[in-house]
Amino acid sequence: MHDELHRQDNGVMARLRVPTSLRGPHSGSVLRNLSWLARVAAFVLIGIETFIHSPAGSADLIIAATAYLLCGLLLCGWAVAELRTPNHQNGLLPMLGLTAALSGAASTVTHGHALLGLTLLVVVSAGSAGSVAVGWAVTAAGVLGIAVSGLLTGSDRAVLLGYPAALLLALLVGSNRRTYRVHAEETSALLAQVEQLQAGQRRAAVLDERTRIAREIHDVLAHSLGALGIQIQTARALLDHDTRRADEVLEVAQRMAADGLGETRRAVQALRADIAPLPQSLAEISDAHRGRHGTSAELTIHGEPATLPSEQILALVRVTQESLVNAAKHAPGQSVDITLYYEDEHVNLTIINLLTGQQADGSGFDTVNGGYGLTGMRERLLLLGGSLTAEPTNHRWQVTARVPR
């Protein structure tokens, strides 16, 4: 069962596996290096486009070259600052704003229009890497540089309106990139939590399975060994005056030991497979009790029998076995009444026998483990949403188990 559960969990985790690009300490540095490689390539191409067509010695060329070099220095400072503090993009606002303003202003002069690409690059980077306020601030700096320089140089309306519109579009692109990155990070964190939750669930399932197996093995052994102990005590009492009867009792004990071993094997198998219907199981237990102890064990069923889950059937079967062992141990020779009630929402099981021996002082429900049988059965029924009581009533010892249908 544990192996099957482990395979199912692995299948779930395979479907929810965190993408490699979203995990690990090196993924962020790889993406950052690629981004800077693209920025450097764009900076070089903008420079080539700016200076290859500009006449040497012109004033516009000097302005464009000065702005280009200053922006290059600012980009170098940006790279160094980002390398030192990769997660503090808001601190780069002055550097990014100044780069956008210089390149935006230089883009309005003759032959400097290619520098608008540098402004767009800065705005996209600010919009995607920093906060919303940083993106808008850098965009405003670029628009201000374009507006001031365009008015001083007498630029036409296409420049004064078109360039700012292009910056707003670049800001939108950067914002979309930031939104995608934030969602990817949140998804990565969520999937990491899913992995931790699945690991916790697997550990809990293993512990729960171990508890179920321990409880099941205990209940089987408590029943088998308890009944076996009663037979051995009887045989010892008969050895002095009735050896033939003692031999018969020992033969029964031997069969019970073999039956107990087989029942232990079946108990382990019952953790995986279905077991016989409850009325059939209780009838077999009653017949076995009569055959072993020579006392009456009557089974009565009220209501319309319903199909129950194997866990509930197994729990009620163990309650019956435990109770019959206690009845044989503490009230030997007394009849036992087993009554099964099928109600609308619950199934009740009562086992009643005369109150004699140790049961008279209220301690008769203990078995080979000094009371662990009662604790184990209560735990089993509580896990199923049921209950268990064991108490004297009207000079009889009554055990009542209840499970939901």
pLDDT band at 154 (very low <50, low <70, confident <90, very high): confident
pLDDT, average across residues 344-372 = 63
Q: Is the pLDDT of residue 18 over 50?
A: no
pLDDT of residue 401: 94
pLDDT band at 222 (very low <50, low <70, confident <90, very high): low
pLDDT of residue 268: 60
How far apart CA 353 and CA 385 sit, in angstroms, is 26
Q: What number of other Cβ atoms are within 10 A of residue 157's Cβ?
A: 8
Query: At residue 346, what are phi and psi to the nearest 5 degrees?
Result: -140, 165
pLDDT, average across residues 102-109 = 86
pLDDT of residue 360: 45
Q: Is the pLDDT of residue 12 over 50?
A: no
How far apart CA 279 and CA 299 sit, in angstroms, is 9
Q: Is the pLDDT of residue 189 over 80?
A: yes
- Identify the burial level of 291 via C-beta atoms within 10 angstroms of its C-beta, where 0-12 means exposed, 13-18 middle and 19 or more buried: exposed
Between 122-126, 180-184, 207-211, the lowest mean confidence (pLDDT) is in 207-211
pLDDT of residue 349: 95
Report yes or no: 265 and 304 within 8 Å, Cβ to Cβ.
Answer: no
Pairing status of strand 297-302 against strand 336-342? parallel
Pairing status of strand 387-393 against strand 396-404? antiparallel
How far apart CA 368 and CA 111 sit, in angstroms, is 99
pLDDT band at 13 (very low <50, low <70, confident <90, very high): very low
Between 19-23, 223-227, 287-291, the lowest mean confidence (pLDDT) is in 19-23
pLDDT of residue 114: 84
What percentage of the chain reaches a pLDDT higher than 90? 9
What percentage of the chain reaches a pLDDT higher than 70? 74
* Domain boundaries defined on the chain: 2-198, 275-405
Each residue's pLDDT tens digit, 261-320: 666 665 665 555 557 789 998 998 898 888 878 888 899 999 988 888 888 888 898 889
CA–CA–CA angle 119, 159, 89 (5° rounding) = 20
pLDDT of residue 400: 93
pLDDT, average across residues 161-181 = 87
Q: Which long-range contacts (CB under 8 A, 24 or more apart) does 369-374 make?
A: 369/218, 369/222, 372/218, 372/222, 373/218, 373/219, 373/222, 373/322, 374/322
Spell out a b/e string for 23-43, using b for 16 or more CB atoms within 10 Å of the CB, else e.
Answer: eeeeeeeeeeeeeeeebeeeb
Q: Is the pLDDT of residue 91 over 90?
A: no
**Joined tokens for residue 175:** 């914002």
How far apart CA 323 and CA 300 sit, in angstroms, is 16
Question: Could you name the CATH architecture of 275-405?
Answer: 2-Layer Sandwich (3.30)
pLDDT of residue 86: 59
Look up residue 30 and give its amino acid.
Answer: V
Query: At residue 304, what are phi and psi to the nearest 5 degrees?
Result: -85, 120
Pairing status of strand 297-302 against strand 387-393? unpaired
Highest mean pLDDT among 56-65, 68-77, 244-253 belongs to 68-77
Q: Is the pLDDT of residue 347 over 90?
A: yes
Sheet holding 297-302, edge to edge: 297-302, 336-342, 346-354, 396-404, 387-393
Query: At residue 156, what are phi and psi to the nearest 5 degrees?
Result: -75, 175
How far apart CA 46 and CA 398 sit, in angstroms, is 93
How far apart CA 165 and CA 170 sit, in angstroms, is 9
